[in-house]
A and B are shown apart, each in its own frame.
Chain A
Amino acid sequence: MELDEAISIGLDLGADFIDIREQEILTTSIEIVNGTVRTLSTGKKRGYGIRSFYRGAWGFSVTHSKSKDLLTRAVEDSVRLAKLSASLKEEKFELEGKGYKGKASVPQIEPPSKVPIEEKLKKALELEKSARIDERVKNVTVRYNDVTLYEGVLNSFGTKVEQEISRVNSYVFVFASEAGITERAFESIGGTAGFEILRSDKAAIIGEKAARRAVELLSAKSAPAGQYKAVLDQKLAGIFIHEAFGHATEADSVLAKMSVLEGRIGTQVGSKLVNVVDDPTLPNLYGSYPFDDEGTPSKKKYLVKEGILVGFMHSLETSSRMGQECTGNGRSMSYSNPPIVRMSNTFIAKGDWKFEELLEEIDEGIYAKGGIYGYTEPSKGQFMFKAEEGWLIRKGELVERLREVAIAGMTLEVLHNIDAVADDLEMRIGHCGKGGQWVPTTAGSPHIRVKRMIFGGLR
């Protein structure tokens, strides 16, 4: 059955709005551990996600077939679930939006689906070798993944959008040990592009970089606990701005009263040095896309300008409910999940300090680097991150290497306490989880300095 026809069936059944996402997802994954290929996998998923809206509530169903029988049943299910949800809901609202038409594909020099598996394997094996810098490197794991996504989005506003997106990523994890101590480090590379990403100079060094850090951490000390003046590197500050702040600017969390930023548009949420941007239009970055999964064209937006909160990120639902423009941030993991408000490439814009200048004025402090993971308590505006490593700063000098440090704080306090932003913006790939859905993103920042921050260490 044609998808147009399915949309009509949904409207005939009484839905106020209906959309259908058709996706075919082709994947390759390779895992190499200590030189042995443990995974060589290719796969295909195909399915249809059908979302209906009725008087302020949603229904969602998934089917794997376009046959008249199964697709009609899935549309009926979706509309029935929307109506049931609506019957339990007092707050009503209308969905408003425009219809978009278009076709797009991500620029790629070497489409992953055209590159032979042997070639991918060769690259991954090279990365594995490059991490073998000395005998203290005990375990090296390399992962390579590519995804090619063909997506069509149709909705009852008249949207009819098709896009082809390919993404490639690679990770190197290194465990080093000596004298009973084991340390680990990882590096990654990736983008919304073709296999050419792995042929870049930047990609060629990730193995060695991870290995060097793991080895150097062997002589690191446990981090101290307590409150310190801090410098965060690009990776950690990027994680901070994504996790602790970015999620609070997702309008669905504002509407759910789970954001500390509720009611703060136009107010000072950080120091004047802070500018925060979400931009899915940047070429080749891992969180980039031409259209979001609701078919809205993507665009660049400022979230914070000179410390003032200027906007939230929106999907069709949140822009309708808040009477603001849809920003094209409705994303989903696959056809099996309905789109929700998500970030793309989110970063603190660069300032004009030099990294060395950030350190100069610190009598005693901690330079925290990298990130293993992080999480937040959105309604409290509280966060916790695990940094990969750190340095003790004394009188402007990095004097002692620290292993894994935990940092914690209140998001807005930290943003206000940023007293210097360097000029060395860098972006890192990530997979952001929310509501059980993982989507590709990048997070970035220059080095930043924070007046005080809580460190949770072992000493």
Chain B
Amino acid sequence: MSKDELLSFGEMAVKNALSEGVDQAEAFLYKGRLLSITVEKGEVKKAESIVEKGIGIRVAIGKKIGFSYSTEFEETDIVARRAIENARASPPDPDFKSFPEPTEPSEVGELFDKRIAELGVEDAAKMIKEMVESARVDKKVYSIGGAFFSAAGTMAVINSLGIQRADDLTQTYIYAYVSAKDGDDMSAGYEFNQGRHLSEINPSWVGKEAASLAIKSLGAVRVETGYYDVIIDPVAMPSFIGFLVSSAANAENVQYGRSFLTGKLGKKIGREEISIFDDGTIPGAYASVSFDGEGVSTRRTPVILNGSLMSYIHNSYTAKKAGVQNTGNASRSYDSLPSIDSHNVILEAKSLEAKKEELLDVKKGILFKETGDRPNLANGEFSGLMSCAFLIENGEITKGLKEAGFGINLLDFLTKIDLIGDEKRQVGSTISPSCRIRDMRVAGK
């Protein structure tokens, strides 16, 4: 379905709603195809081809808001009617002002790759085979799992204030999860590639690296409880700076007092050398889009600038409520109302940059590669378990660690960074180098 077709369904929905007497109306539409191949024990297990589509309609009657969605584009009149019924049933929201007005249209380039849109399942199968073969590097490799995903779709937003945007987007992702076994000892390694273009996927690197991580993690030990210099790998950074921007600096969480960054605007919260940006405008980047879930153009927002908290991230509701500039961070799917999420989150600290060897040059340290944990939004405390970590002794990575618990407050994290790596990697939305933290509490035995 082309952009124009989606837009015309959307226009019809908005027109339908307005003719029933609502003050404002908005339609969000998506149609796309997802392709995936899954590997288990080194063999292809299943292949999927899924069409996803739907329309969500939001209406305002005065300050009363209603919403409804459906997978059927042909039923826009019914969906619009249900949204109106919901608006009528809802008490007014005193903080609601208006849906967003049109913004200067901007075009972030390279977000669509024709090769992904036209990808045959046979091509995807070749990549997954390459990934699996590259993971078989050692007799100790016990099992190889993983998957390849690609999605190509069109997103459109139309509202009665004149917003009318549509764009084609692609995304792809491949991962390997390799387990290794040596006698009774078992370990696992995980690695991945992601991007908006097929050229960003390197299946053999993913396979080889996941296997190598699994093998290096064999013979893992429990670390002595104490304070360590910890080097946080870019793979673990979404839990640190990703969370900081998407959740803690999320204006909705701030306005409702849920976030530990509430009331800290303009205050110094980190080292002077450190800046963190939310940026939806980087051509070709994984978390870039030309417009957000309400059709507002994206931008580059300094969230932390030279150590000071400069801005929260907003959608139209929170921006109008606070009387500030909308940062274009409305996040959306057809079956939900807009919430707030980050685009690309970028850590910059030029003067703290160092070579990898310098970063590792600690007497007693830990390389912290992964955690499934996330910080406590209310107070910024972040305690959890490193799911992949290595011991560093006198500048050398010596052994894998198991069950290493860590604890740090996110605000201390921002002041305790003493060096960062000179190579950045994008992981999910986060674009960051490795960061070294002095004296982090780690618990083992």
Contact = CB atoms under 8 A, between A and B. Distances in A.
Contact of A377 (B82, B93, B384, B387): B387
A317 B16 CA distance: 48
Nearest to B142: A257
Interface in A378-394: 379-382, 384, 386
A408 B405 contact: yes
Nearest to B188: A379
A43 B75 CA distance: 12
Interface in B138-154: 142-143, 145
Contacts of B91: 36-37
A34 to B, nearest CB: 7
A34 B256 contact: yes
Interface in A55-110: 57-64, 77-78, 80-82, 84-85, 88-91
A437 interface: no
Interface string B120-160: 01100100010000000000001101000000000000000
Contacts of A36: 91, 93-95
Interface stretch (B18-26, B44-52, B269-277, B343-351): B44-52
Contacts of B40: 255-256
B72 interface: yes
Contacts of A33: 256
A85 B256 CA distance: 49
Interface in B319-362: 335-337
Contacts of B193: none
A117 B256 contact: no
A47 interface: yes
Interface stretch (B61-69, B278-286, B293-301): B61-69
A121 B406 CA distance: 42
Nearest to A184: B378
Interface in A151-210: 175, 177, 181-184
A47 B379 CA distance: 43
A240 B65 CA distance: 41
B397 interface: no
B403 A382 contact: yes
B12 interface: no
Nearest to B217: A380
A406 B258 contact: no
A317 to B, nearest CB: 9
Interface in A339-389: 373, 375, 377, 379-382, 384, 386
Contacts of A39: 67, 337
A13 interface: no
A45 B54 contact: yes
A151 B255 CA distance: 41
Interface stretch (B162-170, B302-310, B369-377): B369-377
Interface string B190-217: 0000000000000000000000000000
Nearest to A177: B257
A384 B372 contact: yes
B194 to A, nearest CB: 15
Contacts of B48: 59-61, 81, 338
- Of listed B37, B47, B186, residue having the most chain A CB within 10 A: B47
B155 to A, nearest CB: 18
Contact of A225 (B257, B336, B377, B405): B405
Interface in A438-458: 454-458
A182 B402 contact: no
A456 B89 contact: no
Contact of A58 (B45, B66, B69, B187): B45
A431 interface: no
A322 interface: no
- Of listed B56, B258, B374, B381, residue having the most chain A CB within 10 A: B258
Given A177-B257, A258-B145, A458-B383, A386 B373 contact: yes
A219 interface: no
A58 B43 CA distance: 12
Nearest to B379: A182
A455 B403 CA distance: 10
Given A225-B443, A457-B407, A45 B46 contact: no
Contact of A59 (B47, B143, B383, B407): B47
A266 interface: no
The 7 A-B residue pairs with the shortest CB-CB distance in the complex, in nearest-first order: A456-B405, A384-B385, A225-B443, A58-B46, A81-B47, A43-B69, A257-B143
20 contacts: A27-B335, A37-B91, A38-B93, A40-B89, A45-B70, A63-B51, A81-B49, A88-B44, A117-B85, A118-B89, A139-B256, A183-B379, A222-B381, A257-B41, A257-B179, A336-B50, A386-B383, A406-B407, A454-B443, A456-B383
Interface of A: 27, 33-34, 36-47, 57-64, 77-78, 80-82, 84-85, 88-91, 117-118, 121, 138-139, 141, 175, 177, 181-184, 222-223, 225-227, 255-258, 260, 336, 338, 373, 375, 377, 379-382, 384, 386, 403-406, 408-410, 454-459
Interface of B: 37, 40-41, 43-54, 56, 65-72, 82, 85-87, 89-91, 93-95, 121-122, 125, 129, 142-143, 145, 179, 186-188, 225, 256-258, 260, 335-337, 372-374, 376-379, 381, 383-385, 387, 402-403, 405-409, 441, 443-445
